């Protein structure tokens, strides 16, 4: 895909910014399991909190292709920050922009597109009960794993039906949070239980729309494919550099056929992941049906990145199994990708069902 001059400019800007600001910070975030508040504060002035949100609602008004390129560049350096931005932009902001009314967009999109942070909850059966009470709704229940739980200013909560959601303020009475989950990867994308104990939501915070949950996940699949492409690209680049530096039998290991073939396959998978993510983004920008493209992109990229990261560790040998190099972090972060936003099997089921329509 040929990029426009504006898309190339955004990609270059984000790449330079991420390498400068996040290279050391990402190590601190991962080692301490620290939520990347500082990183998010740094990206806000660049417009990355609302990159494809229309300018009239405080966003940058960029296209989805530019968004994918940005997420990929950030993921190359810090996958935790990229994942948080993916949730915020693709699940929260995109859903509000697509299904919210004018008043809701002005009230909630503007702060979210600037400095506010959003989190997203899809309730499974019997997890969260919604009870109408006059002009309000009463929420009771909990969701175990919520990215940015306890950190977000707003939570979009979708009941099981998937055709409506509630905008819940992070400081709402009755809203509380459990302890952070001790994840092995994406340690900065802190995940906590979110507990609703008689949380009252005004009727004006209800958003309705057919296919809302499916649309939100389709948006998210594009972003997660971009995160995967970024991790794969980082693992590849580190492995290429290491293979040229590491000598065995009087020559760099890059000249050994076994290593060359590994690197070539890593390149193939990283490149294909990026292409699929960009193709899904292009389809969305051109107002085509992008649902299947986004599913395929997420499915391929999330499986590819686990393989690519593993090969990167192997190329580095014993060093790859230490914290001296970031390959072990890439491998841990990669393991989360097939689980996020719908696991591999659920996507396969959905794609297979479309074959028989």
Same domain for 74 and 161: no
Alpha helices in the chain (DSSP H): 5-22, 25-32, 37-43, 64-77, 79-86, 94-99, 102-104, 110-114, 212-245, 257-285, 291-315, 327-336, 344-355
How long, in residues, is the chain? 357
Same domain for 313 and 244: yes
- Parent domain of 345: 212-355
Which of 114, 149, 173 represents a domain boundary (last residue)? 114
Nearest Cα residue to 260 out of 236, 234, 230: 236
Same domain for 349 and 221: yes
Supply the CATH number for residue 315's domain.
1.20.140.10
The half-sphere exposure of 153 on its side-chain side, counting CA atoms within 13 A, is 15
* pLDDT at position 163: 87
Which of 88, 114, 140 represents a domain boundary (last residue)? 114
Same domain for 140 and 105: no
* pLDDT at position 342: 87
Do residues 191 and 51 lie in contact, with contact meaning Cβ atoms separated by under 8 Å?
no
What's the pLDDT tens digit per position in 251-292? 999 999 999 999 999 999 999 999 999 999 999 999 999 999
Which of 183, 208, 233 represents a domain boundary (last residue)? 208
Distance CA 264, CA 236 (A): 9
Do residues 84 and 41 lie in contact, with contact meaning Cβ atoms separated by under 8 Å?
no
Nearest Cα residue to 188 out of 331, 11, 329, 343: 329
* pLDDT at position 160: 78
Rg of the chain over Cα atoms, rounded to whole angstroms, equals: 20
* pLDDT at position 208: 93
Partner residues linked to 142 by β-bridges: 195
Locate tokens 């990183």: which residue?
Answer: 39
Same domain for 301 and 252: yes
Give the DSSP letter string of 51-90.
TTS-GGGTS----HHHHHHHHHHHHHH-HHHHHHHHIIII
Angle formed by the axes of helices 79-86 and 64-77, to 10°?
150
Same domain for 217 and 201: no
Same domain for 267 and 224: yes
Q: What angle do CA 212, 133, 202 make, to 5 degrees?
A: 55
Do residues 183 and 191 lie in contact, with contact meaning Cβ atoms separated by under 8 Å?
yes
Supply the CATH number for residue 126's domain.
2.40.110.10
Do residues 196 and 159 lie in contact, with contact meaning Cβ atoms separated by under 8 Å?
no
* pLDDT at position 1: 77
- Listed as ranges, residues in the chain with pLDDT below 70 are none
Do residues 156 and 185 lie in contact, with contact meaning Cβ atoms separated by under 8 Å?
no
Same domain for 341 and 246: yes
Same domain for 223 and 351: yes
Number of domains in the chain: 3
Same domain for 230 and 196: no
Distance CA 24, CA 71 (A): 18
**Whole-number average pLDDT of the chain:** 95
Helix or strand (DSSP H, E) at 131: strand 128-133
**Residue 203 vs residues 32, 136, 168: alpha-carbon distances, Å:** 40, 5, 11
Same domain for 201 and 72: no
Q: CB neighbours of 227 closer than 8 A, spacing ≥ 6?
A: 71, 72, 75, 79, 82, 83, 86, 337
């Amino acid at each position: 895909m040929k990029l426009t001059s504006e898309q190339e400019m955004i990609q270059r800007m984000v790449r330079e910014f991420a390498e400068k600001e996040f290279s050391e910070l990402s190590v601190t975030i991962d080692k301490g399991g620290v939520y990347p508040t500082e990183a998010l504060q740094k990206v806000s002035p660049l417009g990355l909190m609302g990159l494809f949100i229309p300018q009239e609602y405080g966003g940058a008004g960029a296209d989805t292709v530019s968004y994918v390129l940005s997420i990929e560049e950030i993921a190359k350096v810090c996958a935790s920050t990229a994942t948080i931005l993916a949730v915020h932009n693709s699940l929260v902001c995109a859903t509000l922009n697509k299904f919210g009314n004018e008043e809701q967009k002005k009230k909630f999109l503007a702060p979210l597109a600037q400095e506010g942070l959003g989190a997203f909850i899809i309730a499974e059966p019997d997890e969260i009960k919604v009870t109408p009470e006059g002009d309000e709704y009463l929420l009771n229940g909990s969701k175990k794993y919520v990215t940015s739980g306890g950190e977000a200013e707003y939570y979009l909560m979708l009941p099981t039906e998937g055709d409506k959601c509630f905008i819940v303020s992070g400081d709402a009475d009755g809203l509380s949070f459990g302890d952070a989950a001790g994840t092995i990867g994406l340690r900065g994308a802190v995940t906590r239980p979110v507990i609703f104990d008689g949380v009252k939501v005004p009727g004006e915070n209800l958003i309705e729309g057919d296919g809302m949950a499916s649309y939100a996940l389709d948006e998210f699949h594009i972003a997660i494919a971009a995160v995967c492409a970024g991790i794969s690209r980082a693992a590849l680049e580190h492995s290429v550099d290491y293979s040229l530096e590491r000598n065995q039998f009087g020559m760099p290991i890059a000249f050994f056929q076994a290593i060359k073939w590994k690197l070539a396959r890593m390149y193939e998978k990283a490149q294909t992941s990026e292409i699929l993510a960009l193709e899904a983004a292009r389809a969305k920008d051109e107002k085509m049906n992008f649902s299947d493209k986004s599913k395929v992109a997420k499915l391929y990229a999330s499986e590819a990145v686990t393989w690519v990261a593993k090969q990167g560790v192997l190329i580095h040998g014993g060093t790859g199994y230490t914290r001296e190099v970031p390959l072990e972090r890439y491998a841990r972060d990669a393991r989360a990708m097939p689980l996020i936003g719908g696991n591999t099997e659920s996507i396969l089921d959905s794609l297979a069902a479309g074959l028989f329509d």
